[in-house]
Amino acid sequence: MKRREFIQAGFAAASLAAIQLRAFAAEKEERPRVGLIGCGWYGKTDLFHLIQVAPVEVVGLCDVDRRMVAEAAELVAGRQSSKKAPPTYGDFRKLLSEQSPDIVLVGTPDHWHCLPAVAACQAGADVYVQKPISYDVVEGQAMVAAARKHGRTVQVGLQRRSTPHLLEARDRYLRTGKLGKVAYVDIHSYYGGPRDFPPTEQPPEYLDWETYVGPATWRDYNPGIHPRSWRACREFSNGQTGDLCVHFFDAVRYLLELGWPKQIAASGGILMRSPDSNINTHDTQTALFDYGDVQVVWNQRNWGQNPDPDYPWGATLYGDKGTLKLSIRSYDFIPKGNGTAEHGDFLDESEKYPEDLQHKQTEIFAAPATRRHMQNFLAARRERVRPVADIEQGHISSACCILANLSMDLGRGLRWDSEKGRVIDDDDANQRLARAYRGEWKHPTPETV
């Protein structure tokens, strides 16, 4: 072959390879490969809502409960268009290395959010991680750093930011000025919880309890913890502050465009439960998130009478022109004076998506929000912009709730330096921003991810 012909043939081959590569990338982007880590209640729920709004292919499922992950694989096979049952894993690292997913959903208990999310970013995946993003503050800082360092899109499951009736309330009363100036917000939960766990016993053979506990402080297994009551264990969660407060605290921050508070102060504890109880999360708490001209207060009481039966969990925004009540199911606007009160309900899409009813664990009131949250996530990763609940926003909301618990434990208020990511003039508090990891697990920091 002459030199010119050789060069032309080389260019043609290179062009064909480039076209094929672009076609492969486009095809891959049209059907992203998805892995799920944590196949319990909301892990499956998030995955099913993603399947409803995007042509994805689920390529791997991971859980330390072999029965749970096997059930999830069967359900996924019935949901995704390929009808394939994805392979299952007990170690998220093996899922990431063998399947190289484009998207990873993290739906584990809270103490297991950080390590898989960081590893997924390092592996080149975009991440949808449930709230609160972390168990401690430094974990959250590391997760933000990992997303930025590796150029990944990370959406947090704070779907109140995508909830249709809450956005409707924002547009009707906040953006129009009908609510007026807001200087005080009450966030509250009057939900109860388990009174006591059963005695400890040996874990069942299908559950890898050693890995379940993972980096957390060791706690013996009992059948009350898994699969749905681990939030009552301080080893695995930050209690209702890290579960329910973070949702509406984040929603209030979003609606009022608030960042970090100047100071956080909280009091409370285990005030009503028996000292002999084996549940060790607080049942009572009042926390103040001080923004100067706006005071946001969290009130948790898991006992006694609910003062507002229609709003057992929600937020009330007090403006100088009226009051706006928000919950997962509705809103109510009560204008000051003789105006007419107005009410709105959640968007019910169960007729459009009847499979929501088939999966009994689906929260019908939250399904429209999660679908829209997933759509926002997919658009953000496609356009490489920050999603509505970007990891940094999730970190602010999660860390503030974690700091509220820390304030309660220390018995003093905490002033936060958002630039340095530290408590001001409080060495003891700063030493507690990261807990010690157990065993082989290494606590990530912003410098090590």
pLDDT over 60 (residue 12):
no
pLDDT band at 261, cuts 50/70/90? very high
- Flag whether 59 is in a domain: no
Residues 6+ apart with CB under 8 A from 288: 263, 264, 265, 266, 295, 296, 297, 413
Phi and psi at residue 371, to the nearest 5°: -60, -45
- Flag whether 35 is in a domain: no
Q: Would you say the C-alpha torsion 370, 375, 376, 382 has a positive or negative sign?
A: positive
What is the percent of the chain where pLDDT is above 90? 91
pLDDT over 50 (residue 6):
no
- Flag whether 142 is in a domain: no
- 0.85 surpassed by pTM: yes
pLDDT over 80 (residue 21):
no
Q: What is the pLDDT of residue 53?
A: 98
pLDDT over 80 (residue 150):
yes
∠ at Cα 77 (76, 80), nearest 5°?
75
∠ at Cα 347 (345, 349), nearest 5°?
145
pLDDT band at 275, cuts 50/70/90? confident
- Flag whether 52 is in a domain: no
pLDDT over 60 (residue 396):
yes
- pLDDT, average across residues 328-344: 97
**Averaged pLDDT of the chain:** 93
- Residue 324 is part of a domain; what is its CATH number? 3.30.360.10
For residue 207, give its domain range.
164-353+392-431
- pLDDT, average across residues 201-225: 98
pLDDT over 70 (residue 11):
no
- Flag whether 264 is in a domain: yes
- Flag whether 247 is in a domain: yes
pLDDT over 60 (residue 20):
no
- Flag whether 191 is in a domain: yes
pLDDT band at 374, cuts 50/70/90? very high
How is residue 152 written in tokens? 């990944």
Domain count within the chain: 1
The model's pLDDT over 62-106, given as tens digits with 9 standing for 90+, comes to: 999 999 999 999 999 999 999 999 999 999 999 999 999 999 999
